[in-house]
A and B are shown apart, each in its own frame.
Chain A
Amino acid sequence: MPTLSEDPQSFVEIKQINKTFDRIVAVKDVNLNIRKGEIFALLGSSGCGKSTLLRMLAGFETPSSGQILIDGEDMANIPPYLRHVNMMFQSYALFPHMTVEKNVAFGLKQEGTPKNIIKKKVAEALSLVEMQNYGKRSPHQLSGGQRQRVALARILVKSPKLLLLDEPMAALDKKLRVQMQLELVDIIERVGVTCVMVTHDQEEAMTMAWRIAVMNEGSIIQVGTPAEIYEFPHNRFCAEFIGSVNIFSGKIAEEKPDQVVIASHEIENKLLISHGLIGNVGTEVAVAIRPEKIVVSRELPQEDCNWAKGVVKDIVYLGGLSTYHVTLTSGKTVMATQVNINRSTQERFTWDDEAYISWSPQSGVVLSS
C-alpha cells in the first residue's frame, strides 16, 4: 500500500454537492476531498448516487447546488469536452466503427495534435496496456479484458488530470476481474494519475482503492482507507455493508480509563472494549465484532467478559476457512470464521456441538447508530 502524504493536498474538492432529478434526491450534501495521485473509490449499492457523483465530475450531469473544484478550477459551466477529465465507461463505449488505433487516436485528434505525434502517442499508450499488436483490430474482435485495456489506453493517451472509472470490472467475468484489478492499479500508479472509481463490489474497492467513500441514499457514510473502514466502521450501515459482522446491542454499564464495559441482553457476559469511546453510562450502543476475530473453542474461557456459550448450528466449510454459526443461550446466532490449520477433521466441530466463543477487547467496535 503506497503511503499517503502527511499533508493531504486536495486535488479534487467536492463542496456541498446536491443533485435532484424530478424531485428525487440522487446526491445529498456531499463533501469530499480527493488527493493528488490517489485511487479513490465511491462504494455503494445501486441507486446510492455514486454514479451520479462520478458523472458530475465528468460533466455529464450538472449539480443542483454546490461546487466542484478540480486542481483549483471551478468546473461549473465547463462542458465535458473541455474538461481535462476522462472517464472509462462501464460498457467501455469503444467506437464500433473504428479500429483500436483510431479509437485511441480519437481524443488526440480532437485536440488538433499533429499526425506524427498522434501516431507516437497511440503506440505508447497501446504498449502501456500491452495491446500494441491489436491496433488494426476492431473492437468486436476483442475479448472483454482487451476492450478494457483499449478503453484505458484511449483515456490515458489524453494525459488527463483526473481519471474516472465507472464500474471498471462490471463487464468482465469473475476470474478475469481479480487479475485486471491489480493490473489496472499497476498501470494507473505507473502513470501517476488521480483516479476516482465507482463500484458496488466491496472487494474491488478494497483491492484497488487507497481510500474509499461508502455511500448510501445519496450521502457519504464514511471515508477512509480500506482497513479503516473494515476495522473501524463508524456505524451499522458501514459495518454491515462491508464484510460480515456480528452486532450486539446494549447499554454502557461502566466506564474505566481507556476501556468501556457494555451490557447486552443478547449475551450472558459483559462486553469489554479497550479503545476509543466516549459515552455516558446508560447510553444505548451497538457493538460490532467481525467473524474472523471470534474464536470458537471447547474450553471454558478464563476471562470474565467477551465470551459466551452456545451450540454450533451451521458450518460453512470453504476449504481454507470454515464459518460456524453458533446459537447462544439468548437465541442470538453469531458467525465465527476459523482458519482450517489442521488437516484432520477430528478436532473440528460438528452440528449441535457445545462451544464457547470468545474475542479480545481490541476486537469489538462501538457503532454510533
Chain B
Amino acid sequence: MKNPMKKLLRGRDWVIAFPYLWLSFFFLVPFAIVFKISFAELQIARPPYSSLFEYGEEILSIKLNFGNYLFLLTDDLYTNAYISSLKIAFISTFYCLLIGFPMAYGIARSSQAVRNLLLMLIVLPSWTSFLIRIYAWIGILKNNGLINNFLMSLGLITEPLALLNTNTAVYIGTVYAYMPFMILPLFTNLVKHDDALLEAASDLGARPWKSFVSITLPLSLPGIMAGSMLVFIPVVGEFVIPELLGGSETLMIGKVLWQEFFNNRDWPVASAVAIVMLIMLAFPLAIFHHYQSREVL
C-alpha cells in the first residue's frame, strides 16, 4: 500500500518539476545574470562589463561594484523616472477601474448569450498584434488624425489639438491596452455575486446606491485588487506605449532602461535600474497574490 503511493507522489513531482525547471531556466537564471551584471563595472569590451569573480595566484577575488546603485540615487533622472512611472501606472489603473468596473458589472448582469458575446468583444482586440494596435492610435491621435479631423470638420476647433506625444496619449494607450486585464478578473468576481444578497439589502431598507456601496463593492474587492495589479504592474515597466505615443515630457522607467542598454550601452547601470524596478514591484505583486488566493477560495 505504501509503495504505490510513493510512486504516485513521485510521478506527481515530475509533473510539477516541469514548470519549475522552465521557470528556473527562463526566469531565475536570467534574473541572476542581470543581478550579477548590476554589480559589475562598465567596460568598453565584449561583453561590456567586468566580471565579478577573478581567480589568480590561488586567490578568488570577488569585486562587487555598488556604484551603479549609488549612481541611480545621485542622478535625478532615475528617481524621477521611477516616480513618474509609478504615477502613470497609478493613474492608468484608476482610469481602467473607473471605466472597467461598470463594463464588467454590465457584462456580469447581462443574459448568458449576450455575456459571451460581450466577453468575446473584450478579448477580440488582443488577437491583433499589440504593436499594431498602438500604432493605430498614432493614426487616431496625430494632428491630422481621426479625432482632430473629425472635430475640425464639425467646426468645434479651428486648430488641431496636440494629443499625440503627450502624457494624455500615454494614458489613452495604457488604458486602452490594459483594459481587458481589469475587466476579466472583475467580471469573474462580479458574475459570482448572489442576487439574493442585493435583494436582501433592498428588503432591509437599503436604496440601490447604498446596496451597491455596502454589498457589491466590498464583495468585489478581490476582483478590484486583482484587476488593478494586473494593470499596474506591467504599466510601470511599459516601454512600447510611452515610446510610440508619449513625448519628451513622458518619463518612464521602461524608456530609461532602453536608453541605458541600447543608447549608452551601460549594461551595469541598466541592470541596476531593472533590479530596483523589480524590488519596487514586489510589493504590489505580493498584494496581487494575496487577493488572487482569496479569489480562488
Contacts and interface: CB of A to CB of B under 8 A. Distances in A.
Contacts of B203: 58, 60, 80-81, 85-87, 155
Interface stretch (B70-78, B191-199, B271-279): B191-199
A79 B202 contact: yes
Interface residues of B, number: 17
Interface in A137-174: 154-155, 158
B219 A91 contact: no
Interface stretch (A1-9, A103-111, A232-240): A103-111
Contacts of B194: 91, 93
Contact of B205 (A90, A91, A94, A110): A110
Given A93-B194, A107-B205, A60 B218 contact: no
A89 B200 contact: yes
A95 interface: yes
Interface in A59-96: 60, 79-82, 85-87, 89-91, 93-96
B121 interface: no
Interface in B204-227: 204-207, 210, 214-215, 218-219
Contact of A107 (B196, B204, B207, B218): B204
B201 interface: yes
A343 interface: no
A80 B197 CA distance: 13
A93 B206 contact: no
Interface string A98-122: 0000000011001100000000000
Given A91-B196, A110-B210, A96 B202 contact: no
Contacts of A82: 205
B202 A93 contact: no
Nearest to A80: B202
A161 to B, nearest CB: 13
A97 B219 contact: yes
Contact of A93 (B199, B205, B219): B199
A106 B201 contact: yes
Interface string B59-81: 00000000000000000000000
Contacts of B218: 97
A81 B196 contact: no
A155 B219 contact: no
B219 A96 contact: yes
B82 to A, nearest CB: 35
Interface residues of A, number: 24
A81 B207 CA distance: 6
Contacts of A79: 202
A86 B204 contact: yes
Nearest to A164: B203
Nearest to B217: A97
Contacts of A86: 203-204
Contact of A81 (B206, B215, B219): B206
B200 A110 contact: no
A81 B203 CA distance: 5
Contacts of B200: 87, 89, 93-95
Nearest to A91: B196
A95 B215 contact: yes
A93 B210 CA distance: 17
Contacts of B205: 81-82, 107, 110-111, 158
Contacts of B201: 95, 106
Nearest to A86: B203
A73 to B, nearest CB: 16
Contact of A155 (B204, B206, B207, B210): B204
Nearest to B215: A95
A90 B194 CA distance: 12
Interface in B158-217: 194, 196-197, 199-207, 210, 214-215
Given A91-B194, A96-B219, A97-B218, A110 B204 contact: yes
Contacts of A95: 197, 200-201, 215
Contacts of A97: 218-219
Contact of B199 (A89, A110, A111, A158): A89
Nearest to A79: B202
Nearest to B214: A106
Contacts of B210: 110
A80 B215 contact: no
Across the A-B interface, the 4 shortest Cβ-Cβ residue pairs: A110-B205, A107-B204, A93-B200, A93-B196
24 contacts: A58-B203, A60-B202, A79-B202, A80-B203, A81-B202, A81-B204, A82-B205, A85-B203, A86-B203, A87-B199, A87-B200, A89-B199, A89-B200, A93-B196, A95-B215, A96-B197, A96-B219, A97-B218, A106-B214, A110-B204, A110-B205, A110-B206, A110-B210, A155-B203
Interface of A: 58, 60, 79-82, 85-87, 89-91, 93-97, 106-107, 110-111, 154-155, 158
Given A81-B207, A97-B219, 15 more contacts: A60-B203, A80-B202, A81-B203, A81-B204, A87-B203, A89-B200, A91-B196, A97-B218, A106-B204, A106-B214, A110-B205, A110-B207, A154-B204, A155-B204, A158-B205
